[in-house]
């Protein structure tokens, strides 16, 4: 993430929203260059942390069992709790930063995060337990 046209103090002010909403679990971390940042989860099982779900094939069901109504392939889901902020937390931060700084611009993966609802990317919203 990168923020331009704002001050580091604006980022810190916006972080207060995260501290209140996510019980202090989500924190602003400075990136490698000025105004680069990331939002991290101090406790990867705490509020606002990313939960990545992987679906694995366990085994194919015996044909006789399929005839009896069992699913043809058995799956299990494995959840990995990651030390990063979920997209909800990012959205809360983006909105807070835009309130704090009227001139701020935010970039995620090189693309601008619009002041409108563009940050609410549905594909990223399911990776948590919010």
Residues of this chain that interact with Zn ion (CB under 5 A) are 86, 88, 128, 130
Question: Min. distance of Cβ 72 from Zn ion in angstroms?
Answer: 33
Residue 82 vs 130, nearer CB to Zn ion:
130
Q: Give me 47's structure tokens.
A: 């509020």
Residue 6 vs 96, nearer CB to Zn ion:
96
Q: Identify which of 118, 88, 82, 101 has the alpha carbon closest to the alpha carbon of residue 9.
A: 101
Question: Min. distance of Cβ 84 from Zn ion in angstroms?
Answer: 11
Q: Identify which of 52, 50, 48, 31 has the alpha carbon closest to the alpha carbon of residue 106.
A: 31
Residue 86 vs 100, nearer CB to Zn ion:
86
Question: Min. distance of Cβ 20 from Zn ion in angstroms?
Answer: 15
């Amino acid at each position: 993430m990168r923020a331009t046209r704002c001050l580091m103090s604006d980022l810190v002010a916006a972080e207060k929203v995260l501290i209140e909403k996510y019980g202090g679990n989500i924190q602003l971390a400075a990136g490698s260059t000025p105004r680069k940042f990331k939002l991290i989860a101090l406790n990867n099982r705490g509020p606002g942390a990313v939960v990545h779900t992987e679906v694995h094939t366990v085994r194919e069901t015996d044909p006789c069992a399929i005839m009896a109504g069992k699913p043809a392939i058995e799956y299990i889901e494995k959840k990995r709790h990651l030390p990063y902020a979920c997209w909800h937390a990012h959205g809360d931060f983006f909105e807070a930063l835009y309130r704090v700084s009227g001139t701020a611009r935010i970039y995620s993966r090189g693309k601008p995060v619009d002041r409108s609802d563009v940050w609410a990317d549905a594909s990223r919203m399911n990776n948590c337990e919010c």
